[in-house]
Amino acid sequence: MSSRSQDLTVSSASAWDEVFSDLHGASRIKVPDRRAPWAGRLEWQRSKVYGLALCAGGEEVVDRDTRHIRSDPRGTYELLVPLAGTAWVEQGSSSGEIGPGAMVLCDIDRPLTFAHGDDLVGLSFLMPGQNVAGRSPVAAEGPHILSGAGGLGRVIRQLTTTLHEEREQLSESTFDIACDRLLDLVCLAAEGGNDSAPTGQRATVEAAIRSYIREHACDRDLDVVGVARALGWSARYVQQVLQAANTTSRDLIRRERLNVARSRLAGASWAAYSIAEIAHSCGFGSHASFATAFRSEFGMTPREARRG
């Protein structure tokens, strides 16, 4: 099963209002002249978890205020990646102009203003707010204007562009796996990893913990004690570092095991193995507990993921 794709050409401002609201949520949209011809384009890819859209339209000013948010809450964050033209974004006390050398990460359920001319072409990466907060409380506090000219920002820009270009070649499971990795990079950039490596002892320890768990996720006896022993810290200190990052070792291990399981379910090299065998290989004690955790994390059953 592939992720759902939709390509639209819009010829009126009123029709564009509907398209924009479906993508970003209810908003007040102002355009210079609603009677004038409109040239809007939307290439929209979505799964049950993520969305990625290329948008191009006429000049507009968009306001999404508390009234719109109450009537149409989305629970999502958006990374806007301009490919051409410029846009003005304002949320809370932060504001700025962004073009092809920059990106912005915003919470769709916080009041914001978005304005651009008729030359803007941009990619919008939409992700669940709970996924952002679960990875990085810092990223969730946004908005964040990020550089896309070099380093990690350039990697994010290129990965977002490639995901859009290859969207019809990806199954829903593969699309979600790639989006998970893109979200990891976005959160790292929002935490300050775009210009230099994370500084400070706690950030260094957290990065080491995450890396170790990702590498050893399928070890059946992996726990906080084993992680701490392998990295040379106390279990209590590891717990404190992860608590400050709004997570726990158990949650990290479970999430990484589920990510590995989803990759194996979608991979041809594991096609001969049953779902129960894959669950066991990823460190889960029972098929039932694995299926429950998988559905809770990805919004689909392991069987549906394998079918994709």
Q: Computed from CA positions of residues 188, 43, 22, 179, in that sequence, does the dihedral angle turn out positive or negative? A: negative
DSSP-derived pairing of the beta strands 112-116 and 60-64? antiparallel
160 and 250 together in one domain = no
Question: What pLDDT, on the 0 to 100 scale, is given for residue 197?
Answer: 37
Residues 61 and 188 in one domain: yes
Q: How many CA atoms lie within 13 A of 122 on its CB side?
A: 28
Kindly state whether residues 61 and 106 are assigned to the same domain: yes
Q: What are the CA-CA distances from residue 112 to residues 26, 30, 105, 262, 280 (Å)?
A: 12, 14, 12, 35, 46
| Pair (72, 140) in one structural domain | yes
Q: Of 151, 176, 193, at which residue does a domain stop?
A: 193
CA-based nearest residue to 123, from 98, 140, 142, 144 = 98
Place of tokens 């129960």: 276
**Residue that terminates a domain, selected from 169, 193, 217:** 193
Distance separating alpha carbons of residues 52 and 43, to the nearest angstrom: 8
Q: Which residues contact 214 (CB under 8 A, 6 or more apart)?
A: 256
> Distance between CA 292 and CA 128 in Å, rounded?
20
CATH code assigned at 39: 2.60.120.10
Q: Are residues 165 and 263 in the same domain?
A: no
Same domain, 274 and 154: no
The two tokens of residue 302 are 């392991």
* pLDDT value at residue 136: 82
C-alpha–C-alpha distance, residues 31 and 56, integer Å: 14
- Same domain for 135 and 219, yes or no, is no
pLDDT score, position 2: 47
| Residue closest to 262 by CA, chosen among 242, 246, 244, 284 | 284
User: Which phi and psi (to 5°) does residue 116 adopt?
Assistant: -160, 160
Alpha carbons 2 and 51: distance in angstroms, whole number: 13
Are 218 and 160 members of one domain?
no
Task: For residue 301, give the amino acid letter.
Answer: T
Name the domain count of the chain.
2
Same domain assignment for residues 156 and 251:
no
What range does the domain containing 252 cover? Answer: 201-307
Helix 249-266 × helix 235-244 angle, to 10°: 80
Structure confidence at residue 198 (pLDDT): 41
Closest CA to 91 of 142, 127, 126: 142
254 and 137 housed in the same domain:
no
Q: From its phi and psi, is residue 232 left (phi > 0), alpha (psi between -120 and 50) or beta?
A: left
How many alpha carbons fall within 13 Å on the CB side of residue 173?
Answer: 23
Please indicate, yes or no, whether residues 245 and 299 belong to a single structural domain of this protein. Answer: yes
Neighbours of 156 (CB within 10 A): 24
Q: Are residues 185 and 275 in the same domain?
A: no
Identify whether the C-beta of residue 75 lies closer than 8 Å to the C-beta of residue 130.
Answer: yes
Per-residue pLDDT of the chain (308 residues; tens, 9 = 90+): 445 677 888 888 888 888 888 888 999 999 998 888 888 889 989 898 999 999 998 899 999 999 999 999 999 999 999 999 999 999 988 888 899 989 999 999 999 999 999 999 999 999 999 889 888 888 888 799 898 888 888 999 999 999 999 988 888 888 998 999 899 899 888 877 543 334 456 777 888 899 899 999 999 899 999 998 888 787 888 888 888 888 899 999 999 999 999 999 988 899 999 999 999 999 998 889 999 999 999 888 999 988 86
- E strand or H helix at 85: none
**Rounded-to-integer distance, Cα 263 and Cα 286, Å:** 19
- CATH of residue 244's domain is 1.10.10.60
Give the residue from 177, 193, 209 where a domain finishes: 193
Entry pTM: 0.70
